[in-house]
């Protein structure tokens, strides 16, 4: 009797763990689908989107849908999203999941939720993020990004800023100052999505023996559509 009870308990534990994994994976899949939607909606209006030249020269991009603002006096924000880097062929890597936390300085007036996009001119910021928590403005210069097909950043911004930031809320899309916000790799989300207990972010970016869900190709295709560098290459599934 005890043996049968033990078998039932073990079976229930297996089912629970499997369902938990599926639930976590579904949450990450939904986040990537949200990121695809953000990119498609923003870039579908060239006059109001990220300048193509800026996206072409980007070495990394972070897409963080639905960042929530909370608090009245001091305020704060929290959200989760993905970050990707250029691969050797000029395309985009597999996404790593990230989180963002920080103060409310520079938030669009009246906004309670916003989509945030960060365009990295080089990989230094992403490399630092892979080593631990990374603070925008303190660990890398950040500036509100130019908007529109013909927009060009000012000379001083071109020389100093390593990251351009954008925000979309209430139907508005514009450059946003978010200095002080902290970015961090979400290892738990990466493990849930890619199905690995131990996952190095560098391996995700290099597609090192990693089988990624099909939704990753949808995100890569969306970015490739608006970038002239490289071509879209399907990831292994």
What is the rounded average pLDDT of the residues 45-54?
Answer: 79
- Contact residues for 203 (Cβ-Cβ < 8 A; gap 6+): 209, 210
| Residue 19 covered by a domain | no
Whether 32 is covered by a domain: the verdict is no
Look at residue 29 and tell me if it is in a domain. Answer: no
Match 């290099």 to its residue by tokens.
206
Instruction: Give pLDDT tens digits for 108-126.
Output: 555 577 889 999 999 888 8
Whether 7 is in a domain gets the answer: no
Helices 187-194/2-43 angle, 10° precision: 100
pTM over the 0.75 mark: yes
pLDDT of residue 103: 61
Q: What angle (nearest 5°) sits at the alpha carbon of residue 10, between those of residues 5 and 13?
A: 125
Structural domain count of the chain = 1
Query: Alpha-carbon distance 86 to 28, whole Å?
Result: 21
Which pLDDT tens digit goes with each residue over 3-15?
444 343 333 333 3
CA angle 166–171–175, rounded 5-degree value = 20
Section 169-182 average pLDDT: 72
Burial tier of 96 (Cβ tally within 10 Å: 0-12, 13-18, 19+): buried
Return the top range by mean pLDDT from 16-20, 125-129, 139-143. 125-129
Does residue 92 register a pLDDT over 60? Answer: yes
**Alpha carbon distance 20, 14 (integer Å):** 10
Is the distance from CB of 63 to CB of 81 less than 8 angstroms?
A: yes
Give bridge partners of residue 182 from the DSSP assignment: 101, 135
Task: Note whether residue 94 is domain-resident.
Answer: yes
What range does the domain containing 192 cover? 39-225
Residue 16: C-alpha distances to residues 3, 19, 230, 234 (Å): 20, 5, 43, 32
């Amino acid at each position: 009797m005890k043996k049968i009870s033990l078998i039932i308990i073990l079976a229930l534990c297996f089912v629970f763990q499997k369902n938990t994994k599926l639930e976590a994976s579904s949450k990450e899949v939904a986040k990537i689908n949200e990121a695809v939607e953000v990119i498609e909606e923003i870039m579908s209006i060239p006059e109001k989107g990220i300048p193509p030249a800026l996206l072409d020269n980007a070495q990394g991009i972070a897409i963080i849908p639905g960042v929530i603002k909370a608090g009245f006096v001091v305020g704060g924000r929290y959200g989760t999203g993905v970050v990707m880097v250029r691969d050797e062929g000029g395309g985009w890597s597999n996404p790593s999941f990230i989180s963002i936390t920080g103060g409310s300085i520079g938030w669009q007036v009246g906004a309670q939720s916003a989509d945030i996009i960060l365009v990295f001119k080089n990989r230094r910021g992403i490399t630092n993020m892979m080593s631990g928590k990374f603070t925008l403005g303190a660990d890398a210069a950040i500036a509100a990004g130019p908007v529109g097909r013909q927009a060009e950043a000012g000379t001083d911004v071109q020389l100093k800023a390593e990251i351009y930031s954008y925000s979309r809320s209430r139907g508005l899309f514009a450059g946003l100052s978010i200095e002080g916000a902290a970015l961090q790799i979400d290892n738990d989300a990466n493990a849930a999505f890619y199905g690995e207990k131990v996952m190095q972010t560098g391996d995700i970016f290099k597609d090192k023996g990693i089988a990624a869900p099909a939704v990753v190709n949808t995100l890569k295709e969306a970015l490739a559509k608006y970038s002239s560098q490289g071509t879209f290459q399907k990831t292994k599934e």
